[in-house]
Amino acid sequence: MKYTTLLVTGLLAGVLFPGTFQASLFAQDNPEALALLEKVDNNQSSQSRIFESSMTIHGRRSDRTLTSKSWSKGEDSALTEYLSPASEAGTKMLKLGDNLWIYTPAADRTIQISGHMLRQSVMGSDLSYEDFMDDRKLTELYHAGTLVQDTLRDTRVMVVELIAKVNDVAYPRQKMWVDAQKYVPLRQEMYARSGQLLKRIDLYDVKRIHNRWFPTRMVYKDMLKTGGGTEFRIESIVFDADIPAYLLSKAGLR
Amino acid sequence: MKNFIFKGILRDKGRSLLPVIVVSLGALLTVFLYSWVTGVLGDSIEMSSNFEGGDVKVMTKAYAAESNQFPNDLALLHVETLLEELEKVFPEIDWAPRIRFGALADFPDSLGETRGQGPVAGWAVDLLSENSRERERFNLPAAIVRGQVPEKRKEVLLSEELAARFDVNPGDSFTLFGTTMEGGFSFVNFVIAGTVRFGTTGLDRGAVLMDLEDARSAFAMEDAAGEILGFLPEIHYDDRRAQEIVTRFNDRFGQYTENSGEDPEFSPVMLTLSQQEGMAQILVYSQAISAMLIVLFVAAMSIVLWNAGLLGGLRRYTEFGVRIALGESKGHIYGSLIWEALIIGALGSVLGTAIGVALVFIFSARGFDFSGFMQNATILIPGVVRPAVTPVIYYIGFIPGVFSMVLGNMLAGTGIYKRETSRLFNELDV
């Protein structure tokens, strides 16, 4: 009788206040899912890192590849310098906390990007500035919900649903397919609050680097854009490296 | 008889003054309302044509499908070759390649740091060529508030509202942050040559107008254009003519891209103004509203003036009795009545049309500024509206003025034939 009453109340609440019901479902983390998420965070987070990458944007008319070098420290500071093609070489993006600046030698100007501009595509790719900026741990941003076993690309995975527990997050809901042995996401689907699928990331080529598993190839697909997606490759990466302080300051932009 | 009647009308003011005034007012109102409705709706369509759609517009199929987002990555390529072909096939049309874009205008402080920034809607048109008519289409230099029309590369016009919001003046520079055709960053510094106010709120909020070659250089769009607009020689948009051009274009250019080997998605497609997003409804709506308003008003004025003629005829019931009694034939009386109505109608219509046309010219030059009521408008509506000067205004006032007056008198005059001489003395209380 007690369970029936609870079920009816829950369903009623779900119908009348769907968001509340959903939030209440995830108000507390599923302990198993949370443990999984912590392991994912351990693989992805570091004190600092320096990496070189290439980004291939599969447009409707042609493909375009950009290479860059990035330095990041903790969750708040990161600098990316584009190395090629020639038209983009020397362009730098600096993130300090919630602020983002871009320096371009073509105009010799440092421009701050803020507000709705942060949701715009970077270089015509399927990544937004917000995607580039948010480097916080998953456990800080999301409640971990239901956990289901599945298989993806012949790999045993755990599928976990994530609901945002903070407001300043680009995607209020996520669904993540995590390698059950290496604790690395192999696929992520990002949803709007309405439930619309906004972005999908498929992660490949998981390698053992400095005692952690790390995916070195990611294919981003903005589901609201036409085009063939954006392929992001980590060419080389060093974790917990020393980064000079000036590099992650506005002085480092020029 | 005509001279006699004409002299009678001029000398007997009691008989002619009021009818002439009534007819004049009716003709004046008809002329002005017609001109007003045509002007307001015509201005909106003309503005849309000049700023947005041309009379016809050529884009790639892919661009046309998302044209409201200005997807320059889907723009037309090899534009010079395409323009040569277009000019050969349609020499009567003035072709204008353009680039539309959305970007961020960043205004620096004295140290070069961001002082303020805001989104802008950009128009890149041929501003610098000597024979270009684009300046005229954007109403330059009349739309300039401060400064001047750009005279060299890297000079742009900024909307006065945007310039005021960020406290910038002609001579100041700013950085335009946009996206190249390939999707890369585009940062280009421009100098503000002048500020403009086009009189349409949606546009005046944040427009940047620059030369086409500057945009091509900024957005890596050499020999490319988002759209090529075609302007027919006619002053007002003619949908039937535009449709003919589109049919000829499709016959001729349907195979264009297949021959060039490019993806059919990027083949050129031509749309008339009425086929462009949202315009079909606006055109049908404006034509229907315009026709309905004019027919209703002309009909209403006709009834008023017909009634005036009718009353005028009835008022002279006794006079007609006396004239019959004196031996004047009924046909002659009826004929003189119609002639009188014709002369009064013509005099009133000429007077009303003259005053109406004069008012139309005055207000057409001055315009009515309604921009204060359209602060939040996002569509292309002119803030300053003007009555239109068209050939129709010279004769439309005669429809209610002459025809209704004559019809009213003809109807009232039928009573003349019902009068019987034997009963006249009784009726006249003689």
The residue of chain B nearest to residue A109, with distances taken between CA atoms, is B112
CA angle at B275 for the pair B273 and B279, rounded to the nearest 5°? 65
Average pLDDT, rounded, for chain B: 84
Q: What is the pLDDT of residue A15?
A: 42
Are the beta carbons of B272 and B54 closer than 8 angstroms?
Answer: no
> Residue B67's CB: how many other CB atoms inside 10 A?
21
The verdict on a CB contact (< 8 Å) between A117 and B108 is no
Please give the backbone phi and psi of residue B180, each rounded to the nearest 5 degrees, phi first. Answer: -75, 170
The residue of chain A nearest to residue B266, with distances taken between CA atoms, is A61
A135–chain B Cβ distance below 8 A for any pair: no
Question: Is A49 in a helix, a strand, or coil?
Answer: strand
Q: What is the pLDDT of residue B400?
A: 81
The residue of chain A nearest to residue B219, with distances taken between CA atoms, is A87
Residue among A91, A117, A124 whose CB faces B183 most closely: A124
B85's enclosing H/E stretch is helix B79-89
Are the beta carbons of B58 and B254 closer than 8 angstroms?
Answer: no
The verdict on a CB contact (< 8 Å) between A123 and B62 is no
Tokens found for residue A32:
């198993």
The Cα of B114 is separated from the nearest Cα of chain A by a number of Å equal to 6
Tokens found for residue B86:
């277009």
Are the beta carbons of A205 and A217 closer than 8 angstroms?
Answer: yes
CA distance B226 to B99: 5
CA distance B209 to B124: 6
B63–chain A Cβ distance below 8 A for any pair: no
Are the beta carbons of B100 and B76 closer than 8 angstroms?
Answer: no
Q: What is the pLDDT of residue B430?
A: 54
Query: Over the stretch B51-60, which tens digit does the pLDDT of each residue have?
Result: 888 999 999 9
Residue among B177, B183, B188 whose CB faces A59 most closely: B183
Query: Over the stretch A148-185, which tens digit does the pLDDT of each residue have?
Result: 999 999 999 999 999 998 888 889 999 999 999 999 99
**Per-block mean pLDDT, blocks of 10 residues, chain A (254 long):** 41 43 57 90 88 92 91 88 92 88 88 79 85 83 89 93 89 94 94 93 93 93 88 93 88 80
Strand partners of residue A147: A160
A48–chain B Cβ distance below 8 A for any pair: no
The verdict on a CB contact (< 8 Å) between B117 and A123 is no
Please give the backbone phi and psi of residue B342, each rounded to the nearest 5 degrees, phi first. Answer: -65, -45
Are the beta carbons of B273 and B283 closer than 8 angstroms?
Answer: yes
**Residue corresponding to tokens 């755990």:** A158
Buried b (16+ CB within 10 A) or exposed e, A46-82: bebbbbebbbbbbbebeebebbbbbbbbeeebbbbbb
CA distance B404 to A243: 92
Per the model's pLDDT, the better-predicted residue between B76 and A9 turns out to be B76
- Among B93, B71, B87, B94, smallest CA distance to B225 is for B71
β-strand pairing of A99-104 with A109-113: antiparallel
Give the mutation candidate from A61, A128, A132 for the B interface (greatest B CB count, under 10 A): A61
Residues of B whose CB is below 8 A from A107:
175, 187-189
Query: Over the stretch B391-403, which tens digit does the pLDDT of each residue have?
Result: 888 998 888 888 8
Helix, strand, coil percent content, chain A, rounded in steps of 5? 25, 45, 30
A77 secondary structure, DSSP code: E
CA distance B227 to B67: 9
> What size, in residues, is chain B?
430
Query: Over the stretch B304-353, which tens digit does the pLDDT of each residue have?
Result: 777 776 777 677 777 777 887 788 888 888 888 888 888 888 999 999 99
Range 243-272 of B in CB contact (< 8 A) with A: 263, 265-266
B183–chain A Cβ distance below 8 A for any pair: yes
B102–chain A Cβ distance below 8 A for any pair: no
Are the beta carbons of A21 and A10 closer than 8 angstroms?
Answer: yes
Indicate whether B38 pLDDT > 90: no
Q: What is the pLDDT of residue A8?
A: 43
- Among B391, B387, B397, smallest CA distance to B351 is for B397
Q: CATH number for A2-253: choose from 3.40.50.10320, 2.50.20.10, 3.65.10.10, 2.60.40.10.
A: 2.50.20.10
B173–chain A Cβ distance below 8 A for any pair: no
Q: What is the pLDDT of residue A222?
A: 93
Mean pLDDT lowest among A195-209, B185-199, B224-238: B224-238
Q: What percent of chain B has pLDDT over 90?
A: 34
Tokens found for residue A165:
């527990």
Residues of B whose CB is below 8 A from A57:
183
Residues of B whose CB is below 8 A from A91:
185
Query: Over the stretch B156-180, which tens digit does the pLDDT of each residue have?
Result: 999 999 999 999 999 999 999 988 9
Q: C-alpha distances in angstroms, A126 versus A57, A72, A187, A197, A233? A: 8, 21, 15, 14, 14
> Residue B224's CB: how many other CB atoms inside 10 A?
19
Buried b (16+ CB within 10 A) or exposed e, B229-251: bbbbeeeebebeebeebbeebee
Are the beta carbons of B408 and B313 closer than 8 angstroms?
Answer: yes
A123–chain B Cβ distance below 8 A for any pair: yes
The verdict on a CB contact (< 8 Å) between B117 and A125 is no
User: What is the sign of the dihedral through the CA atoms of B135, B138, B141 and B145?
Assistant: negative
Query: Taking the domains of chain B in order of start, what are their residue ranges?
Result: 2-48+282-427, 56-231
Are the beta carbons of A156 and A187 closer than 8 angstroms?
Answer: no
Query: Taking the domains of chain A in order of start, what are their residue ranges?
Result: 2-253
> Residue A246's CB: how many other CB atoms inside 10 A?
9
The verdict on a CB contact (< 8 Å) between B183 and A106 is no
Q: What is the pLDDT of residue B214?
A: 95
Q: What is the pLDDT of residue B106?
A: 93
- Rounded (10°) CA dihedral B295, B301, B307, B310: -90
Give the mutation candidate from B174, B182, B188 for the A interface (greatest A CB count, under 10 A): B182
B112–chain A Cβ distance below 8 A for any pair: yes
Indicate whether B381 pLDDT > 60: no
Question: Is B172 in a helix, a strand, or coil?
Answer: coil
Q: What is the pLDDT of residue B427?
A: 62
β-strand pairing of B207-211 with B173-179: unpaired
Per the model's pLDDT, the better-predicted residue between B322 and B103 turns out to be B103
A91–chain B Cβ distance below 8 A for any pair: yes
A59–chain B Cβ distance below 8 A for any pair: yes
Q: What is the pLDDT of residue A233?
A: 95
